[in-house]
Structure 1
Amino acid sequence: MFPQLPATATGWPRLAPRARFLLVAAGLYLAWLVGYEGFIGPEGHFDALLSVNIAAASARLLRLLGFAAGHAAGTTLLTMDGLPAVYVGAPCDGLVLYALFAGFIIAFPGPTRPKLWFVPMGIAALYLLNIGRVAALALNHHYAHRSVDFNHHYTFSFVVYAFICLLWMLWVRQYGSPAAEA
């Protein structure tokens, strides 16, 4: 009465690539929602550690470039010439972007082996971009503080999301095809 879908070696029906992508993406989103909103986010320790790390790394980058940047141990505040410049809060630590990037790559049809190196390398690239973003915001605050709000909410958001999109396009062009899935 009902048409039979071709079965895989496990006996489960083979899903069309789009349906598989949507199901895996929805499952990963649900796992993220439960994991972050139920455990990671409310506790706040991981976000706090990541925010402190981003602030400290951004201060180190600015010092390396010759600017008088500072960061008090254990805080999320980056200073310029001893004055507060940027506070790195949980929404700006990049954790949600890492999950968004990884979720897309994991859910998209393609071979598993390249995903094992592409996801960590992409997250590392996003982490470095976030350090650069926070350092640039500190410089922006120090030299042209009136434009910080605009640049934080629009300019740097565009740059970060464009970079994520570029990584996704690179993945899709290089590895993303149902036929390539191993």
Structure 2
Amino acid sequence: MISRIWHNTTYRFLILFLGIFTLLYYFQLAFIGIVAPGNIYIPFLAEHVNYIEWLRYGLMQTSASIIRAMGEQVFTTEIWFRVVGRGGFVMAYDCLGYGVMSFFTAFVIAFPKPIKSKLWFLPAGLLLIQTLNVIRFVFLGLYWRQSELKTIIDHHDLFNIVLYIVLMIVLYFWLNSGKVAKVQAVS
């Protein structure tokens, strides 16, 4: 029974996808929990392997550099992002995109396509996600304060809608390019 389920391409994809997504997503949450001062805090990890803070810093500084290149003044701290005379936001952990990156990574790894295809598509997709995130931060800093949209929809929800539409389009083209790895199903 288990062997038959595992050899079914659809079931294997679903099992792998859900397993990898759960592992990645909850690992991120656990890691944030141990590098943020509070209940379980491991200073060594927080000081030397804190890729969450590296990601936050990189996103914030990239966004600030783009806005500075547009002639605006930007003020940042570890979590605050402010465009002088425009707007700003607090870059919470949810803003980093670890949920959507976990989804995307799990999908690409679990889908039965050749490894060569996955090796270029996975980093390209993760870069796309963070590029869209930087564009969001630039727009938030410059325009969100005076936007009529903020009374209609939360910027996280708006970003997620746009991001998932873009990812679905990109995934559609990736799924329909080349060949799907053949996995023999047991009848």
Show CA shifts across 1:7-32 (max 9, x none).
xxxxxx97121011012112202322
Contact 1:80 1:138 in 2 (8 A): yes
Partner of 1:55: 60
- Which of 29, 32, 46 is matched with 1:41 structurally? 32
1:71-90, aligned counterparts within 5 Å? 71-72=75-76, 74-81=77-84, 85-90=88-93
SS in 2 for 1:110: coil
- Which of 100, 105, 111 is matched with 2:103 structurally? 100
Partner of 2:72: 68
Alpha-carbon distance change, 19 to 160 in structure 1, aligned in 2, over 3 angstroms = same
% identity of equivalent residues? 21
1:94 aligned partner, one-letter code: G
Query: Which contiguous aligned blocks of 4+ residues in structure 1 show a shift greater than 4 angstroms?
Result: none
Shift of residue 175, structure 1, vs aligned partner: 4.1
2:28 aligned partner, one-letter code: Y
User: How many equivalent pairs are there?
Assistant: 168
Tell me how large the CA RMSD over aligned residues is: 2.8
SS in 2 for 1:179: coil
Shift of residue 33, structure 1, vs aligned partner: 4.3
- Which of 118, 126, 134 is matched with 1:115 structurally? 118
Partner of 1:157: 160
Length-normalised TM-score, structure 1:
0.78
Contact 2:87 2:140 in 1 (8 A): no
1:19 aligns with 2:19: no
SS in 1 for 2:7: coil
> Bigger shift: 114-123 or 28-37?
28-37
Alpha-carbon distance change, 26 to 123 in structure 1, aligned in 2, over 3 angstroms = same
CA distance in 2, matches of 1:141, 1:63: 17
1:46 aligned partner, one-letter code: Y
Q: Unaligned 5+ residue runs, structure 1? A: 6-12
Shift of residue 123, structure 1, vs aligned partner: 0.5
Contact 1:105 1:115 in 2 (8 A): yes
Length-normalised TM-score, structure 2:
0.76
Q: Unaligned 5+ residue runs, structure 2? A: 37-49
